[in-house]
Amino acid sequence: MRSSAMTLALAAALAATAPPAPAADLPVFDAHIHYSHDAWESVPPADAVAILRKAGVTRALVSSSGDDGTQRLVALAPDLILPSLRPYRTRGELGTWVRDETLVPYLEDRLRRFRYVAIGEFHVYGADADLPNVRRAVALAKEHGLVLHAHADADAIERLFRHDAQARILWAHSGFERPEAVREMLRRHRTLWCDLAFRSEHGTGGAVDPAWRAAFDEFPDRFMVGTDTFTPERWHYIGEHASWSRAWLASLPRPLAERIAWRNGDALFGAEIAKRGS
């Protein structure tokens, strides 16, 4: 029948133009991207930028082992890439950088030659945070007005704040701590922010876990999402991670969802973003 055919056509047209699901259009500030040397060939810089843009990532905090990876991306997309200086020149320095005598000269050299918004992501645990290299990294961050992106336990975070009470610290993976412990840390430190990279229990199945919801409600300005591309293959997960994040963010009130999706990241790095004029 002509009329039912028309109904079907109309239904198809409506489906094609249906408004996006809530939060489907959220821009994403991805606070945890690495572009390390073993990714440069399989995901060339132009492809890396294309992956981020296709995922609807409007800004990405990027660090690389070594730093040339980050510089290549910044050169291609200065509006998108917020460069962070990682204290690793190659994969494998994650556990040795705190005692490596060649490390501080490397950081100082890079800081002289390039502009950054952060130092990190670096790994440090417990009393190692009192070692001279770590103290120097904190001092350099202070001197250059940079955020510290720290993959650390709560003890090390406390020590970093003892080196500089005014430090701005982005706690990678929220320390892989339970939400109650994360809230305690956020109460103690006003200049502590948390990324949710490489964890999923806060938003499984498009719903937000109640304990995490309490954390987001208490500290709506301190959380951000991140993929963590710690291996080259993870680059192909960036789009999926953005969609997955939008799914659980959709269950939150829109203003809170926007904060976690991108506003908190833009706010933390606002001064540097303004300088870049984007």
The residue length of the chain stands at 278
Pick from 223, 228, 262, 265: which binds Zn ion (CB under 5 A)? 228
Using CB under 5 A, which of the segments 20-28, 90-98, 114-122, 128-136 binds Zn ion?
A: 114-122
Q: Which is nearer to Zn ion, 242 or 250 (CB)?
A: 242
Three-state SS at 170: strand
CB atoms under 10 Å from CB of 273, counted, come to: 17
* Number of residues lying near Zn ion (CB under 5 A): 2
**How many alpha carbons fall within 13 Å on the CB side of residue 24?**
5
Instruction: For the CB of residue 139, give the shortest distance to Zn ion in the complex, in Å.
Output: 23
CB atoms under 10 Å from CB of 191, counted, come to: 16
Q: Which is nearer to Zn ion, 192 or 256 (CB)?
A: 192
Structure-token pair, residue 176: 């892989």
Helices (H), the chain: 2-17, 45-54, 68-76, 103-113, 132-144, 154-163, 179-188, 210-218, 238-249, 254-258, 264-268, 270-276
Distance in angstroms (rounded) separating the CA atoms of residues 106 and 222: 31
Q: Which is nearer to Zn ion, 177 or 250 (CB)?
A: 177
Instruction: For the CB of residue 201, give the shortest distance to Zn ion in the complex, in Å.
Output: 18
Instruction: For the CB of residue 39, give the shortest distance to Zn ion in the complex, in Å.
Output: 13
Do residues 245 and 198 lie in contact, with contact meaning Cβ atoms separated by under 8 Å?
A: no
Q: Which is nearer to Zn ion, 65 or 250 (CB)?
A: 65
Pick from 121, 128, 177, 195: which binds Zn ion (CB under 5 A)? 121
Three-state SS at 23: coil
Q: Which is nearer to Zn ion, 121 or 128 (CB)?
A: 121
Taking CB under 5 A as the rule, does residue 67 contact Zn ion?
no
Using CB under 5 A, which of the segments 14-22, 118-126, 137-145, 214-222 binds Zn ion?
A: 118-126
Using CB under 5 A, which of the segments 13-21, 40-48, 137-145, 226-234 binds Zn ion?
A: 226-234
The C-alpha angle with vertex 64 and arms to 61 and 69, in degrees rounded to 5, equals 100
Instruction: For the CB of residue 271, give the shortest distance to Zn ion in the complex, in Å.
Output: 24
Contacts of 118 (CB under 8 A, 6+ apart): 61, 63, 82, 83, 84, 85, 141, 146, 147, 148, 149, 170, 269
Q: Which is nearer to Zn ion, 30 or 228 (CB)?
A: 228
Three-state SS at 69: helix
Instruction: For the CB of residue 120, give the shortest distance to Zn ion in the complex, in Å.
Output: 9
Using CB under 5 A, which of the segments 3-11, 40-48, 224-232, 240-248 binds Zn ion?
A: 224-232
The residue to which tokens 């939008």 are assigned: 246
Using CB under 5 A, which of the segments 98-106, 162-170, 221-229, 238-246 binds Zn ion?
A: 221-229
Instruction: For the CB of residue 228, give the shortest distance to Zn ion in the complex, in Å.
Output: 5
**Residues in touch with Zn ion (CB under 5 A):** 121, 228
